[in-house]
Amino acid sequence: MQLEFTHLPEVTPVFSQFALHERILKAVAELKFVEPTPVQAAAIPLALQGRDLRVTAQTGSGKTAAFVLPMLNRLADLGGPRVEIRALILLPTRELAQQTLKQVELFSQFTYIKSGLVTGGEDFKEQAAMLRKVPDVLIGTPGRLLEQLNAGNLDLSHVQVLVLDEADRMLDMGFAEDMERLCKECENREQTLLFSATTGGAALRDIIGKILKDPEHLMLNSVSQLAEGTRQQIIMADHDQHKEKIIHWLLDNETFQKAIIFTNTRVAADRVYGHLVAKDIKAFVLHGDKDQKDRKLAIERFKQGGSKVLVATDVAARGLDIDGLDLVINFDMPRSGDEYVHRIGRTGRAGGEGLAISLITHNDWNLMSSIERYLKQQFQRRLIKEVKGTYNGPKKVKASGKAVGVKKKKVDKKTGEKKAAAKRKPTAKPRPNAPLASVDGMAPLKKRAPKPE
Ligand code: AMP
């Protein structure tokens, strides 16, 4: 497979220069999109030519319109009665699916194109009934789409355009086989568009080799550029309770419209949320243990400003497009550089300013410094007098930025002398907080595909 790396074209001044159907241009104008973003300027003309594309673009860069507009254009040109699903958008999470559906509906509002959604957490029979009416565009997450397929409710053999959005994330979530199976079901497709926020690893290359035909690769951002729109800071913390104190201070003293606090686990999300509630700070919590209704409600109310603070696991890190989100706090350091980029990609969207603050205990240090190296950036060290702890970072760091392991010396009770600590026997179990592998080279740090939180 030959991959071409294309330089960015000059940004096309206005949307009307694209060879888009007038009804679609009307919707674009209605949404007050005038100038295409760089990813739109690069991807739309090639997609309109029918090329397969692999696009690496930052979340928040306008990538949804970059695939939705050419996809709708193909369908708008067809005319005739609707009898088949003609476009499929595969993506990793329900939230992203709902948001994408909204965009598709807005862009197709002056056409006869109808869209439908198939994700987990929604009524299976209602979905089957929707599928019997045959939408033109189907948007869904792999697991539930396969269930509908296996139940005989879904025919994808007439799909002309297949889009995989956030393909890297779907792979991280363990959907590789489901994705392949669904791609095979769309065997008569004419075009495949694959979007990822990161360049991904071997698994992404493997699926690209299998499903894209002679693709053009549009590299819109290098990974170090991905985080550029956002100021990035770290604050040292002694332990989790200290982190909660810092968060409390930040929420009281920072100027922000909306903030997300990310944790690595559901338990930590609930604990931080509980702490905020106890301090009379109104917040919502979002993680995989919440049922779909609660998740929807939390997002909607957060969007509408029912609360300025959302505590979330990474399920919320992808795709959520929330106006005015300008503060991201990493209660836990994400386990990989890519995840970090996705989290902070929630701020500073569509040109806005953002601030990302990571709270760093000695357990987080090496992970943080690996992420700095990955991004080729140094995060600003910030000290807050009012909530200052005792940890100030490692005493010594290696050239790599990692802490030099300082062995503690025990005091001999009899002589009062310090002696070297006895070597610990290697144990079969890994330490609970130890990263499973280095982030160098950005292999994902998880051994197994993580369960969606
Ligand atoms: P996305 O990366 O697709 O999630 O888009 C991020 C945000 O940018 C969304 O709120 C879009 O509505 C907005 N957006 C995308 N393209 C444009 C554009 N060309 N002009 C203005 N806003 C845009």
Lowest mean pLDDT among 37-41, 185-189, 232-236: 37-41
Q: What pLDDT score was predicted for residue 239?
A: 96
Q: What pLDDT score was predicted for residue 288?
A: 79
Lowest mean pLDDT among 182-186, 213-217, 327-331, 341-345: 341-345
What residues pair up with 261 in beta bridges, in sequence order?
311, 329
Q: How many helices (H) and strands (E) does the chain have?
A: 15, 17
Does 318 contact ligand 1 (Cβ within 6 A)?
A: no
pLDDT at 12 over 50: no
Assess contact for 347 and 376: CB atoms under 8 A: no
Residue ranges of domains in the chain: 6-221, 225-387
Among 136-145, 288-297, 374-383, 393-402, the range of highest mean pLDDT = 136-145
Q: What is the pLDDT of residues 375-406, one digit of tens each?
A: 878 899 999 999 999 999 888 877 777 787 64
Computed over every residue of the chain, the mean pLDDT equals 83
Q: What pLDDT score was predicted for residue 13?
A: 58
| Sheet of strand 87-90, all strands in order from the earlier edge strand to the far edge | 4-6, 216-219, 53-56, 191-196, 161-164, 87-90, 137-140, 115-118
Superfamily for the 225-387 domain: P-loop containing nucleotide triphosphate hydrolases (3.40.50.300)
Mean pLDDT of 124-135: 96
| Alpha carbon nearest to ligand 1 atom 6, residue | 60
Lowest mean pLDDT among 25-39, 337-351, 415-429, 435-449: 435-449
Q: What pLDDT score was predicted for residue 273?
A: 96
Residue 225: pLDDT band by 50, 70, 90 thresholds? low
412 membership: H or E segment, kind and range:
none
Does 61 contact ligand 1 (Cβ within 6 A)?
A: yes
Lowest mean pLDDT among 3-7, 124-128, 163-167: 3-7
Does 67 contact ligand 1 (Cβ within 6 A)?
A: no
Q: What pLDDT score was predicted for residue 232?
A: 92
Q: What pLDDT score was predicted for residue 49?
A: 95
Does 321 contact ligand 1 (Cβ within 6 A)?
A: yes
Q: What pLDDT score was predicted for residue 314?
A: 83
| Stronger pLDDT, 148 or 401, i.e. the higher one | 148
| Stronger pLDDT, 406 or 32, i.e. the higher one | 32
Q: What pLDDT score was predicted for residue 202?
A: 84
pLDDT at 42 over 50: yes
Q: What pLDDT score was predicted for residue 434?
A: 35
Lowest mean pLDDT among 4-18, 170-184, 224-238, 248-262: 4-18
pLDDT at 284 over 50: yes
Residue 297: pLDDT band by 50, 70, 90 thresholds? confident
Centre of ligand 1 to C-alpha 44, Å, is: 14
Mean pLDDT of 317-333: 82
Q: Please name which of 351, 22, 1 lies closest in space to residue 192, comparing C-alpha atoms.
A: 1
Which residues are CB-contacts of 49 (< 8 A; sequence separation ≥ 6)?
none
Superfamily for the 6-221 domain: P-loop containing nucleotide triphosphate hydrolases (3.40.50.300)
Lowest mean pLDDT among 132-146, 172-186, 225-239: 225-239
DSSP state at residue 77 = T
pLDDT at 61 over 70: yes
Lowest mean pLDDT among 113-117, 163-167, 201-205: 201-205
6-221 and 225-387, same CATH topology: yes
Q: CB neighbours (10 Å) of residue 271?
A: 17
pLDDT at 67 over 90: yes
Does 119 contact ligand 1 (Cβ within 6 A)?
A: no
Does 37 contact ligand 1 (Cβ within 6 A)?
A: yes
DSSP state at residue 314 = G
Q: Please name which of 12, 20, 115, 105 lies closest in space to residue 69, comparing C-alpha atoms.
A: 20
| Alpha carbon nearest to ligand 1 atom 19, residue | 36
pLDDT at 451 over 70: no
Atom of ligand 1 nearest to the CA of 64: 3
Q: CB neighbours (10 Å) of residue 384?
A: 14
| pTM metric for this prediction | 0.62
